[in-house]
Structure 1
Amino acid sequence: MALAVLVFDRTGSALATAAVYALTYLPSIVGGPLLAGLADRFARRGVMLACDLVRAALVGVMAVPGMPFWSLCALVFLVVLLGAPFSAARAALLPEVLEGDAYVLGSALQNMTNQAVQMLGFAAGGALIATMGPHRALALDAATFLGSALILISGVRRRPAAHQHGGKLSMWSMTASGARLVFGSRHLRTLVLFAWLCGFYILPEGIAAPYAARLATDGLPVPVITGLLMAAMPAGTVVGAFLYSRFVSPPRRLRLMGWMAVLSCAPLIVTALRPPLAVVLAAWVLSGVGGAYQLAANAAFVQYVPAERRAQAFGLVQSGLMAVQGIGILVGGFAAERLGPEPVVALAGAAGVIGAAVLSLMWTEARDKSAQVGAEATA
C-alpha cells in the first residue's frame, strides 16, 4: 500500500502504479522454481535469515526520499524475488517442527493467522500511511523484516541442510529434478492441480471493485462494498480451516477433499442470478469455507515428497499458484469488461466445479490403486 501511494504521488499515473503492483507477481513466478532449491541445498533457517536481512536492507533503501522510479521498481522486484526461497524454506521446515497431525493443525493456525493479519493489514495500513506518510511506513516495513529475523534466531533451532549433496547440482539441474519429482508422480501431480484450482475461486476478488459498483444500490458506497467482498472469502477460509482441522479426522479430511474443493467453487454459480449483496457475501464466505480443502492437499503433499527435496517442490507449487492467480485475475478482468462481473464469476465457479469433480475422480482412483498395491505387497 505504501509503495502504491508513493508511486502514484510521484508519477500521477495509474498505469505506473498498476505496473509496480504487477511486479509483485512476476518475481515469484520466476524465482520460485529457480531459487526455492536453495532451501534444500543450505540450512533452511539460514536461508530464511539471509532473506530477511537482505529484504530489510532493500526496503530500507526504498524508504529513502527521492528514490528514482526505476530504482523503486528494481527494489520491489528483488524484495518479492527473495520471498520465494524464504517461503519455500518455511514451508519445508514446518513439517520438521510439527509431525503427524500436528502439522495439519499448525498449517491451519498459520493459514488463519495469515488471513486475519492480511485483513487487519489492509485496514490498518491505510491509516498508518495517512498518519506517517509512505516513506516512514516503508521504514517500518523494513523493521518488520528485522523483527522476523530476531524471531527466527530466538525461536527456531539450527538444523543441517536437508540435501547434503545439493552443492554439486546447478540451480537449473535442481529445478529440473524438482519438476520431474512433482509432475512425474500421479499422486503429487493430482495434489498440485488441487492446489492450483484456487485460480477459479480467487478470480472474483480480482473484479470485486466492478462487482461492487453493480451492487451499490443499498446506500453503501462502492469502496465499502469492495472491502466487504474482498474480506468475505478470507473470512470463510478462517472458519473453514478451524472447523476442518479441529473436528475432522485426518483420514476423513482426505476423503472429503474432493467435496470441499467442489464447495470452494459451487456457491459462486449463484451470482448468475444477480442476487443482492447479502446473498453474494454469503456465497463468497461459503466458497472460502470450501477452500479449507487445501489443508488436506498440503498435508498429503508433504507425505509424498522426500524431506530433502521438499523446498524445491513447494517452490514449484507456489510459483504455479502465483501464475494461476495472476492469469485468472487478468482473464476475469478482461471478460468482465465485456460480459459484466456477475456472469464471469458464475462461469469461474462452474469451471471450477468441473475441474474439482475431475480431480476428485483422479484422486480417488490414485488412492484406490495405491491401496491395492499396498495390499498386494503385504500379501
Structure 2
Amino acid sequence: MRAGRPPGRHRRAEGHATYREVIALREFRALWYGQGLSLLGDQLAQVALAVLVYDRTQSPLATAAVYALTYLPSIVGGPLLAGLADRFARRAVMLTCDLIRAALVAAMAVPGMPFWALCALVFLVVLLSAPFSAARAALLPEVLEGDRYVIGSAIQNMTNQAVQMLGFAAGGAMIATMGPYRALAVDAATFLGSALILVSGVRRRPAASHDGSRPSMWTMTRAGARLVFGSRNLRTLVLFAWLCGFYILPEGIAVPYAAKLSTGTLFATWTLSVPVITGLLMAAMPTGTVLGAFLFSRFVPPPRRLRLMGWLAMLSCAPLIVTALYPPLEVVLAAWVLSGVGGAYQLAANAAFVQQVPAERRAQAFGLVQSGLMAVQGIGILVGGFAAERLGPEPVVALAGFIGLICAAVLALLWTEPRERVPATA
C-alpha cells in the first residue's frame, strides 16, 4: 500500500499546496503549536522583564540594557551553536533547549533574584534560542515537501506576527493582574508545554550528519560561512533576507514619529494620543506582512514566486519614500501596511535557500542567516534612532526606503541574471 504513495505525493509537492493539507499533517501542527506557544510566552516575558527591571532599578538605561540582551546572544552565539542541530538529532536539540530554558526562566521568576543574575539568565535563555530555531528551521523542510514548505512557512509567519501583536497588547494587562514574577512563571510553563507537544507530535529522526565525525563548532561555523557566502545564488538570497534591516527601521522610531503625527488628525475626524498612534504604526507592518503572506502563498503559483521576488522586495521599501512628503497618519499607515505586504518575498527567498542548501548542513546555514538578521535589525534601528534625533523621523524613514529600494533592485538583477543564463549554457 505504501508503494503507491510516493508518485502521488511527489505530484502534489510540485503543484500548489493548500492550507488544509498542510495543517492536516500532525508533525507540522506540533511544530506550529509549539512555536506559537513559546513565542506567546516570550512576548509576555519581555514586557514582564521590562516592568521588573524598571521597578527594581528605576533606571531607563538598565531597562534598555536588559532588552538589548535579547539581541546580543543571537548575534554572538548563533553562528556557533546553530551547528549543534546538524551534529545531533534535531528533535532532541529542540527538546533539550526547551527544558533548559524552562528551568532558567523559572529561576528568573524567583523573587529577589539579583540584577546581575537576572541579566545572565536572560542572556542564556536567548542564547539557547539559536540552536532551537536552527533545528526547527532545518526540520521543517523534512516535514513539508515542495510547495507545502512555502505554505507552512506562510502559516508560521502569519502566526508569529499575530502572536507578537497579541502578546504585546495583552502582556501589559496580564502583568497588571498577576505581576511580573507570575508572568515569568507562565513563560517557563510555555517552554514545558512546547517540549510536551514536540514529544507527542514530532517523530524521532537520526542526526543529519551520518559520517560519525564530530568537528569543532568553530570548524562547522567556518564551513557554514563558506557554504553560504561562497555561492553567488545563496549569497544573493541571504542579502535578500537581510534587506529587512531597511524596512524594519521605521518600527524602531515609531514613538518619535507618533509624536510628530499626534498634532494632526486621522481622517480629519479624530485626534489621537501618542501611545495610540505608536500602537497603530507598530501594528501596520505586521498587518501587511500577514496579508502579504496569505495572498502570496494562496494565490501566486509556485513557478511565479521567484520571478516576483525582486519586485516584492522593492515594494517592501518603496512605499516608505512617501514619508519625505510629511503625509498625514492615514497615508503613513497605508504606506507601512503596503511595505509589510511586499515583505512576502521572504517566503520565496526562504524556499529557494532551503532547496540549495544540503540537508545535513541546513541548521548551520539557517543559524548564520538568522544571526545576520538580528544584527541588521539591531544596527538599522540604532542608526535610525541616531539619525532621527538630528533629521527628524520623516526623512530618515524615507531615506531608509530609498536606499533599500536601490539595494532591492540590484539584488533582483543579481538573482535573475544567473537563472536566465542557464538555458543558454545548457
Same-fold status (TM-score > 0.5): yes
> CA, structure 1 residues 330+304, in 2 after alignment: closer, same or farther (shift >3 Å)?
same
Structure 1 residues 217-239: Cα deviation after superposition (integer angstroms, max 9, x where no partner): 23211111101100000000000
Stretch deviating more after TM superposition (56-65 or 360-369)? 360-369
The answer as to whether partners of 1:201 and 1:352 remain within 8 angstroms in 2 is yes
CA distance in 2, matches of 1:33, 1:91: 14
Structure 2 residue aligned with 1:18, among 61, 64, 68?
A: 64
CA distance in 2, matches of 1:167, 1:31: 22
CA distance in 1, matches of 2:346, 2:78: 19
Residue 295 (structure 1) shift: 0.1
Amino acid in structure 1 at the alignment position of 2:260: R
The answer as to whether partners of 1:40 and 1:166 remain within 8 angstroms in 2 is no
Structure 1 residues 95-138: Cα deviation after superposition (integer angstroms, max 9, x where no partner): 00000000000000000001011100011111110000000000
Structure 1 residue aligned with 2:402, among 347, 350, 357?
A: 350
Match of 1:80, SS?
Answer: helix
| Partner residue, 2:243 | 197
| Partner residue, 1:45 | 91
Amino acid in structure 2 at the alignment position of 1:29: I
CA distance in 1, matches of 2:283, 2:424: 44
Residue 370 (structure 1) shift: 3.6
| Partner residue, 1:82 | 128
Residue 11 (structure 1) shift: 0.1
Stretch deviating more after TM superposition (211-220 or 310-319)? 211-220
CA distance in 2, matches of 1:127, 1:46: 35
CA distance in 2, matches of 1:367, 1:19: 45
Residue 167 (structure 1) shift: 4.1
Q: TM-score, normalised by structure 2?
A: 0.87
CA distance in 2, matches of 1:195, 1:307: 20
Stretches of structure 1 lacking an aligned partner (at least 5 in a row): none
Amino acid in structure 1 at the alignment position of 2:402: A
Structure 2 residue aligned with 1:279, among 321, 328, 331?
A: 331
- Alignment partner of 1:245 is 2:297: yes
CA distance in 1, matches of 2:212, 2:194: 27
CA distance in 1, matches of 2:51, 2:424: 58
- Alignment partner of 1:160 is 2:206: yes
| Partner residue, 2:231 | 185
Residue 372 (structure 1) shift: 3.7
CA distance in 2, matches of 1:132, 1:12: 21
Amino acid in structure 2 at the alignment position of 1:279: V
Stretch deviating more after TM superposition (178-187 or 215-224)? 215-224
Residue 173 (structure 1) shift: 0.2
Structure 1 residues 45-101: Cα deviation after superposition (integer angstroms, max 9, x where no partner): 000000000000000000000000000100000000000000000000000000000
The answer as to whether partners of 2:87 and 2:214 remain within 8 angstroms in 1 is no
CA distance in 2, matches of 1:319, 1:61: 26
| Partner residue, 2:346 | 294
Stretches of structure 2 lacking an aligned partner (at least 5 in a row): 1-46, 266-270
Amino acid in structure 2 at the alignment position of 1:50: T
CA distance in 1, matches of 2:188, 2:212: 31
CA distance in 1, matches of 2:221, 2:106: 31
Amino acid in structure 2 at the alignment position of 1:11: T
| Partner residue, 2:80 | 34
Q: TM-score, normalised by structure 1?
A: 0.98
Amino acid in structure 1 at the alignment position of 2:175: I
The answer as to whether partners of 2:289 and 2:340 remain within 8 angstroms in 1 is yes
Structure 2 residue aligned with 1:325, among 372, 377, 385?
A: 377
Residue 163 (structure 1) shift: 1.1
| Partner residue, 1:311 | 363
CA distance in 1, matches of 2:352, 2:279: 34
> CA, structure 1 residues 283+45, in 2 after alignment: closer, same or farther (shift >3 Å)?
same
CA distance in 2, matches of 1:281, 1:11: 36
CA distance in 1, matches of 2:167, 2:54: 20
Match of 1:106, SS?
Answer: helix
Residue 41 (structure 1) shift: 0.3
The answer as to whether partners of 1:41 and 1:165 remain within 8 angstroms in 2 is no
Aligned residues: 374
- Structural RMSD (CA): 0.8
Percentage of pairs with the same residue: 85
Map 1:209-288 to 2 at 5 A: 209-217=255-263, 218=265, 219-288=271-340
> CA, structure 1 residues 348+136, in 2 after alignment: closer, same or farther (shift >3 Å)?
same
Amino acid in structure 1 at the alignment position of 2:66: V
| Partner residue, 1:360 | 412
| Partner residue, 1:208 | 254
Amino acid in structure 2 at the alignment position of 1:112: M
Structure 1 residues 211-267: Cα deviation after superposition (integer angstroms, max 9, x where no partner): 000000232111111011000000000000000000001110000000000000000
Residue 165 (structure 1) shift: 3.2
